[in-house]
Amino acid sequence: MTPRRTISFSMPLARLIRCAAVVALLGLAGCASVPQNSGPVDQPDDSSLRSLRIADSAAASEKGSPIENTVAGLRRSQRQLSQSASGARLPTVELPPPLLAKPVDLTRESEDLFQRIRNGFSMPDINTDLVLYHQQWYLNRPDYLRRVIERSSRYLHFIVEELEKRGMPTELALLPMVESAYNPMAYSRAKASGLWQFIPATGKRYNLDQNWWRDDRRDIVASTAAALDYLQSIYEMHGDWHLALASYNWGEGAVARAVNKNQAAGLPTDYLSLTLPNETKNYVPKLQALKNIIGNPALVAELDLLRIPNRPYFSTVTPTSNIDVKIAAKLAEMPVDEFLALNPAHKGPVIMADTPLIIPTDKLDTFVSNLEEHEDSNKPLSAWKSYTLRPGDKLEKVAPRFGMTVANLKAVNGIKGRINVGPGVTLLVANRDGAPAGDLTALPNTPRLPDADPEPATRAYTVHKGETLAAIAKRFDMSVAELKRLNHLRADKVAAGSRLVVAEAKEKPTAQAASAQPRKAQAAKTPVETKRASASTQKAKPSKVTRYTIRRGDTLTSIAKQFNVDTDDLLRWNRISPKSLIPGQTLTIYLAQNP
């Protein structure tokens, strides 16, 4: 007989049941009889095992102590097993199949573009007071968020696709919300333009053409490729996405110097530990705030943000001949404004041949079909063509040659005032079979770059003994923060004899300030205006000051040309030599008032 085991009543119930089961199995092994002429004992079939499990369950449900119920159940199980071995057939009960978890296809993409973006989040999170401040700022303005998301719906899928191709974090798809609010026509005081806000010099460095016909900084496809190239290069420089973003905003040279400064002082060199200007200090927290909002599906639903489908919004097609903006929009059967929202790089009425057009995916077949039908009917695709002036050409002679008035010719080409147009200048003229003389209806209502916000009129001021920043700011109707920002001050104290840049006091305007007009940022120049600017030697008195941070690739000449000032003035204002320009260095530039 199998020796008995003493079971302590203080054992946990689970352990007690396991011990009882072992006792039963040992008893079965010792007491079961095996016929002499049989082979190996057959294992209980599945139906027997199921019956045993049912019996155990029934026993467990009976009243009594856990030990009594367990022993009784084991005895019943032993009797049933003996009957099965002797040939008796046990009753069978059909058990339902086990409930299995529904399989999840991890390779299937979500139908929600925001979910796809969430899946690609890979930047480390930051949690600071600035993040909470900007997050609350966005949440307090749900209408603004909805407008930004609605604008982004045209471009977001394309940008996410490009990021995934490069293995870059999908948080970067939210960066144009910080840069431009996803407005491809956005234009800053620093002359940055487009979704990704390229300044002219950086745009040229990344092969974004900027001429009278087009500005590729506003081109959705070209500017996105340039922005991702730039972000990749500065990430490889720093090995940190937060530092890469700071470099995108402030300049890689400036961030590198801030890192080196902390290294020399034995301080951490992460983004949150660097001394940064206010704009850069708020830059990454803004992106993190948007990430927190978009990353929360319940919050997105509560804010009633547009649900963007995870499918391409647009496709591209390349006509082989010039085509008018209005005709292209008509062939796509869409409003001109909507067409320009997808093709914002084009500044004139004509899109040059072999230039890719962006057309909504659901209208691509319509556009191609209508284009073929238009060409089969021998109708011109453009009412305009280009003409390069030759020696001896005058506007008065060129205009009639193409069935135009001089006034129309000037209006189409942005010629204002008495400008001498010389040989080599390319003009837009009417096609012989295109726009009739005096008719400018073929011109689209192309959105123009908005003027930059004018800087307040400023002047220099020498600090007197005993004066504080608060007193100086109050005297010139400024805030202390504005005074410190204008003069790049960090401390709240200023030494006597220091020269500060201050705003002209509103209550006591000088004659010069009263007569001076704020100089607006130049919009895209026509070839004629560019020629006039380069030939002009007339100087005007400075009426306002601006700051410019040198970018990699900038030269003294390119900066002077960008702000329409002389290189000698740049050297004199900043007390520098031509060979001392360093990326990240800030220059003071006095802008001349318009003549």
Task: Please state, in angstroms and rounded to a whole number, the distance separating the CA atoms of residues 119 and 110.
Answer: 10
Give, in degrees to the nearest 5, the angle at Cα 242 between 117 and 217: 70
CA dist., res. 235 & res. 367, Å (int): 40
Q: Which two tokens stand for residue 348?
A: 């004139």
- 430 beta partners: 384
Main-chain phi, psi angles of 317, to 5 degrees: -140, 145
CA pair distance 243, 271, nearest whole angstrom = 6
Report the distance separating Cα 562 and Cα 555, nearest Å: 11
Write b or e for each residue in 279-315: b if 16 or more Cβ atoms lie within 10 A of its Cβ, otherwise e.
ebbbbbbbbbbbbbbbbeeeebeebebeebebeebbb
AA identity, residue 292: N
DSSP string, 207-257: T--BSSSBBGGG-HHHHHHHHHHHHHHHHHHHS-HHHHHHHHHH-HHHHHH
Kindly state the DSSP code that residue 33 receives in the 8-state scheme. -
- Which of these, 409, 394, 405, 399, lies nearest to 443 by C-alpha position? 409
DSSP 255-306: HHHHHHHHHHTT---SGGGS---HHHHHHHHHHHHHHHHHT-HHHHHHTT--
Query: How many residues would you count in the chain?
Result: 595
Catalytic residue among 109, 161, 171, 179: 179
236 as an active site residue: the answer is: no
Backbone phi and psi for residue 388, each to the nearest 5 degrees, phi listed first: -95, 125
CA distance 36 to 571: 114
- Tracing tokens 């209550």 back to the chain, one arrives at 507
Tokens 């850069």 label which residue? 280
Single out the residue of 225, 238, 248 nearest to residue 163, CA to CA.
Answer: 225
What angle (nearest 5°) sits at the alpha carbon of residue 543, between those of residues 480 and 482?
Answer: 10
Q: How many helices (H) and strands (E) does the chain have?
A: 25, 10
Rounded Cα gap, residues 246 and 243, in angstroms: 5
Q: Locate 229 and state its tokens.
A: 């190239």
Fill in the amino acid letter for 194.
G
| Catalytic residue positions, numbered | 179
